[in-house]
Amino acid sequence: MSHTVSHAEDGIPTPLLVAHRSTLPNFLYILSFAPPVPSLLRQPRAFAVHPYTLYVTGVITATIAGLGLPAFDIVFGFWTNGIREGAPSEIRGRGDSSGLIMTIVGVVFFICTTVFLTCFITAAIKLSDAARQKYLEAIMVQDPAFFDRVGSGDIATRARKDIDSMRIGMGERLGYLCWSLSTILAAFVSGFAHTPRQAGFLFTLIPTTILLLFGLGVVTDKISARQSALDGRISSHIEQVLSSIRIVHAFDMAPALLTRMETALLRPWRKLTKRLSLVKAIEQGAVFGAGLIVYSMSFWFGGREVASGTSVGNVLTTFYNFVNIFFAAAGMVPHFIATTNAIRDLGNIRLQIEREPLIDIRSPDGLRFDADWQPSFELDGVTFAYPSRPMHAALNNVSFRIEAGKFTAMAGPSGSGKSTIGSLLQRMYDPESLTHDVERDAAILKSLDEGKMPISGPHITSSGTIRMSGRNIKDFNVTWLRSQVAVVLQNPQLSSGTIYENVAAGLITRSENDSALIESALRKAQAWDFVSELPKGLHTEITGERTGLLSGGQVQRIAIARALVRRPKCLLLDEATSAVSADTEAKIQESLIAEQKETGMTMIVIAHRLSTLINADTIIVMRDGSVVQSGTYDELVSPSCPDPTFRLMVEAKPTVTKHLPSTSTVVSEKGESIHETLEYPYILPPAPSSPWHVFRSIAPILIPSAFLGIVLGGAFTAIGYLQGQGVAALNNPDLHEMRREVNRWALWFLVVALVSGLSSFLFTFGIEWAGQKLVADLKRESVRALSRQEVAFFEKTKTGSGSLTAAVASNTSNVGNFVGVVLASVIMSLSNFVGTVALAFALSWRLAAMVIAPLVLASGIGYLNFRFLERFEETTNEQSDEQAAFVAESVNSIGTIASLSREAETMRQFEAKFAKKSIDMKNLIGASATMGFIQAVVDLFGALIFWWGATLVSEKRVDLASLFAVVEAVLVTLYVCPKMLTYGGDFQRMRKAMRTIKEWMDRAPIQATAPDVDDGEKSSGLVLHDIALQYPSRPDVTVLQGIHAHFEDERSYAFCGTSGAGKSSILAILERFYEPSSGKITLDGRDVRSMSLAELRGEIGYVSQEPILFEGSVRFNLELGLKPGSRASEGDLEWSLKQANILPFVHNLPEGIDTDLGMKGRRLSGGQRQASDRLCIARALLRKPRILLLDEATSALDGESEAAVQTALDMASAGRMTITIGHRLSSIIGANVIYVMDQGKIVETGTHDELVGRKGKYFELVQAQL
């Protein structure tokens, strides 16, 4: 074959997906997401709003704003020196000039605070949005090995919670941090300038405090890293629970899964947070105690300075400078923690953003063939092991050739390596992936879960070469390669959008002829008829979540159309029609073969239904990772074929078993119970009616801690009184008496400092621990509330499993951020406020009264600030939720996106949807301006105090002791109130989070009820009375109509029909996943709507088409089938495993029944995963159900595995009412009654023989499978 080769770099535009790399350290890494800086002259507006410009402007204005308090200290010293003595006019003059200076400082403070908050928050929003986009972009290009290790729940959480943490920590909190640091540095300079010796003496506290905080910081980082890793595991667990909601409901698994979440994840998380709370308490106690010791040291040493001739004003200036240093340091602790947490989260996200996949689709390098070529493939000595299972060889020295333009099929038992070859042909993996991946992701694994032990033991040595059209497959451009190979997997995923958009996703380029191509593809995939019958046809909206309303067969047909619409050079079908009915499958096969012959495309089919391979040019037969034979169908089934594998597979059809009598090995309902009721080691507490009731669990910790906080805040009242007395003593002209009095007050300051430091430690530990305990409890209760919602709830765009997982993480985190150091500061501040105001009025009501009007004004401005913040946070969080939901759905569809080479298109969609997102500048500026005014209150009120205080002194209406005590009290009050409002954003986020969690808890699942009325009907068994059904998300489509059926005990029933006929909908209404639109269902004459869901589902065992296993041991997964509150003995477990025909398999696992299966059973090898079907059967049997529902339980199995599972199903069905959905008629022909469905109606009823004899619809289905 001749073809021309072009290099990808020749004439190829710059790729849309570009690797993000930066040499910046983690604390500056957020800057790497900024776009290039525009020219100031050519684009002045763009330059002004660039993140770099905003940060620089913010740092400058925050630094100026930070000078406000040191300026106040300097003016306070100037004022103090002027009012001690002199003529009344001089005293009033000093008050006037001091007041004027502070007014100017206050105005500047207001302007700078408004500007720096606006700049920091705007820059952080821009960069965090860009980081989220780059994170998604990096996730889109990762190889499957990455997703074997990193769960979708962890990714969704990082895209929501962690990036929001970056927005907050690198925004408003970083601004406040810069402001505080400016205050500290300016206070240092001022202190040493005014009284160097006193400043030097006080400075001795600094190194000790810094060393202590540094050591504690190292401990904090280690604990925080482990806590973050557990957070990821918790999110992955939550995502699996919510994405598997049908199985969770069917078996009432929620209590057991919540118990596991509590004991295996939340308990270790609480232990870590308890240690972290202890470290934070030591930090806070040390800073608080040291800050109050400054009072004692200042007055003791200040007395010596005054005695040596230093002015009292200078001593007080230095004193206030160092008080501000320590309390600015204490006040910035929450801001520092938020910023360091943001930096830590940045570091964890950076590991994933900068991870370079072994197979990088972003690279423009590689070869491309021109249009006139046909793909052939050759494997030469390929040995391969998956990076997640490095000790198990998926392929062992495999060599074969796939001819160009031919129909090649691959067959073999489950786990033989067929799908692995499909992954290698798409370059999802390379043979050497194992060697490169194991060590490369060590840092990511550590950030995800430090508790996981690395995989030990001898690793498989991967090797071999794969060639396409004679060239090493690694020589080709990856994106181009995948665009040439259209893939349809067994469980394809669709994205949220219209059917038209989903099929169009297969197009490589778009044109005006798209509609015709899409219609043609749908017709070839046998999907046009059912799509055109939908109310909106091609424009019908569907959801991309796993609980979508299209049947499995319909989804597969749309996926086939999506593959055909691109007119591929190669079509790879991996069990692509396993959920399609036999007659429809035959038509699809006919269309595909015709398409293959017409276009000359290379077609590769992996299938267990061997009838679909009859027309293949070559069938490659595999077993245990090796090729054992190849040839045509006739050659392989011939007795002369040297290897009998394929022939035995053809002959290995499931045994057709008529309904087994009830005298089987199953224990009778009236016999001895196989269950013994035992209590769980942990019993879930009763579900609270409101998230506020969850606070009851932390009340024993929170209430004493709050009391300590009130006492601690009251310490400032004592400090205010002592300071007034100390300042008055410093003004005593008798130096000897002055020293004696000052030393006495200094001793009292020391006592207060020691008591306050200890109280601060206990208070901070208690309230931090209570807050983190609350986070864990709210996570549990949020999942409990969500897991009880009806299935339809999870089929809405904003309530998919990924979105809800991220919402649980972010909302509970927002509550925890407030109920901790922030709440501690608020409690102390309120107590401080009340105590100091009372002291001020007690000492001088004239001086204290003037603060009332300004406080009322500040309160009004504070209310406006809260309103602005509330609206701003609501808008910002809504936008973050939408972006996180997009990320979650994209990650859940990553396999489809990769196979379609839709990574760049996904990013284009993200940009189109969110690039024009505007920041709510109106409310942001309003919030910043009101906060700026509130922060300027200290300086503006200081101006008023200086003027009014000087006036009262000049008129001798107040003594100096009372004056300074009141001034201290009023200033502390005015200092504390604005500090409280810096946490307004935290408060609003906490309110929003609690409101969301409350909505989850308050929401009652939509469930129909009916009175338990005896209407005279005494029919036994399960009866469907004239049932009709419209799904809540598609109320204009009737999926079932006029359904009548009667199911009796100890008999077997089956439903069959074409894809989309309504078969699975029958099981959905029997499980009450949905309520019938009309008609009713009765069990033994009782309307099931009069029964609780637990009562009804307790009678039912359910085996879904897709086997669902949870992280945990085989034992744990089996016991999930039990009714809540009961346990099974070892004999019970072995009995269920034996009935499911899987006991020997479980015994051969490394740890037997206690072997951990990993997240979603991923630790099972490919072949072992086929056993998951039988594990699910065993799980259903363990509850000893009266009714057994089987939803196409063998649709994806090879003949040998199907025979084993069918034997298990026959054994399980004995003595029970069994209702089976099946496309493979071999699995249902032994049923006592078979219902044939078509377009939502039952069109035929009877036994297999009766229905075949009628030669109707059922006969057509039988003929299609012969």
CA distances to 209, 276, 337, 405, 953 from 772, in Å:
26, 10, 14, 62, 51
| Residue 1211 identity | M
Q: Where are the domains of the chain?
A: 376-651, 1048-1070+1092-1265
- Name the 3-class secondary structure at 353: helix
Torsion of CA 778, 784, 789, 795, to 10 degrees: 70
CB–CB of 314/84 below 8 Å? Answer: no
Find, among 436, 460, 463, 459, the residue nearest to 382 by Cα.
Answer: 463
pLDDT at 1092: 87
CB–CB of 721/964 below 8 Å? Answer: no
CB–CB of 503/558 below 8 Å? Answer: yes
**How would you class 1238 by CB atoms within 10 Å of its CB: exposed for 0-12, middle for 13-18, buried for 19 or more?**
middle
Give residues with Cβ within 8 angstroms of 855, minimum separation 6. 973, 974, 977
Task: Tell me which DSSP letter residue 1072 carries.
Answer: T
pTM summary value:
0.75
Place of tokens 């049997």: 1181
Question: Do 376-651 and 1048-1070+1092-1265 have matching folds?
Answer: yes
DSSP 938-1003: HHHHHHHHHHHHHHHHHTT-S-HHHHHHHHHHHHHHHHHHHHHHTTHHHHHHHHHHHHHHHHHHHP
pLDDT at 7: 47
- Name the 3-class secondary structure at 605: strand
CB–CB of 738/730 below 8 Å? Answer: yes
DSSP 1161-1211: GTTS-HHHHTTHHHHHHHHHHHT--SEEEEESTTTT--HHHHHHHHHHHHH
Here the tokens at position 1213 are: 């069905």
Q: For the chain of 1266 residues, list the mean pLDDT of each consecutive stretch of 10.
A: 46 60 91 91 90 95 90 83 80 88 91 94 93 91 80 78 88 91 90 90 84 80 81 86 90 89 91 90 84 87 88 85 80 81 88 87 86 87 83 88 93 83 88 59 58 53 89 91 86 82 84 84 89 82 62 85 89 84 81 88 86 88 90 90 84 48 34 36 76 84 87 79 82 86 91 89 90 91 92 79 84 86 79 76 72 71 81 84 81 81 85 81 91 82 83 81 72 66 77 90 80 61 91 81 92 87 88 90 90 88 85 89 81 86 82 81 59 84 88 66 68 81 79 91 92 88 73
3-class SS string, 1105-1131 = CCCCCCCCEHHHHHHCCCCCCCEECHH
pLDDT at 981: 66
CB–CB of 619/613 below 8 Å? Answer: yes
Q: State the chain's maximal CA–CA distance in angstroms.
A: 126
Could you give the CA distance from residue 1221 to residue 695 in angstroms, rounded to a whole number?
47
Give residues with Cβ within 8 angstroms of 766, minimum separation 6. 701, 702, 704, 705, 708
**Which CATH number is correct for 1048-1070+1092-1265, 3.40.50.1100, 3.40.50.970, 3.40.50.300, 3.40.50.360?**
3.40.50.300
Q: Which fold, 376-651? A: Rossmann fold (3.40.50)
Helix ranges, 141-266 (H): 144-149, 152-157, 163-169, 172-194, 196-203, 205-243, 245-250, 254-260
pLDDT at 453: 42
CB–CB of 926/109 below 8 Å? Answer: no
Angle at 938 between CA 936 and CA 939, to 5 degrees: 70
Count of helix runs (H) and strand runs (E) in the chain? 48, 26
Could you give the CA distance from residue 143 to residue 527 in angstroms, rounded to a whole number?
31
Here the tokens at position 801 are: 């499993």
Here the tokens at position 206 are: 């600094």
